[in-house]
Amino acid sequence: MTWLQPTGPIIVRVVEEPARETTVVDVLLGSIGLTGLVLLIAAIAGLALGGILVWLKKRRGDSLEITAQTLELSPTQEKR
C-alpha cells in the first residue's frame, strides 16, 4: 500500500481576489453616513435629556409660568 502514496508534498496555492479599490465616492458616502449616525445619536440624546428635565420640573412642582418683569419703556421724541 505504500506504493500508492505520493513521495513529495502537495503544495496548494490559494489565489485571493484582488482587494477592491477605495474611491472618492466611497469615502464621501462613508463620511455622510457617519455624520448622519452622529446626528441621529445627538438628536436622540437631546430629546431624552430634554424629556428628563421637563419631567423633573413637573415632579418638583416648579411653575411653568413666565416670571419676567416688564419695564414698560416707551420711545420718547426729543423736542427742539
The parts of the chain modelled with pLDDT lower than 50 are none
Domain count, the chain: 1
Classify residue 9: in a domain, yes or no.
no
Classify residue 7: in a domain, yes or no.
no
Question: What is the model's pLDDT at position 68?
Answer: 75
Domain that holds residue 34: 24-57
Question: What is the model's pLDDT at position 49?
Answer: 98
Question: What is the model's pLDDT at position 57?
Answer: 87
d(CA 53, CA 24): 43
Q: Please, how many CA atoms are within 13 Å of residue 66, restricted to the half-sphere of its CB?
A: 3
Q: Residue 40 corresponds to which cell in the numbers above?
A: 441621529
**In this structure, are residues 39 and 31 in contact, taking their beta carbons and an 8 Å threshold?**
no
pTM > 0.85: no
What would the DSSP string read from start to end of 9-68?
-----PPPPPPPPPPHHHHHHHHHHHHHHHHHHHHHHHHHHHHHHHHHHHHHT---S---
Classify residue 53: in a domain, yes or no.
yes
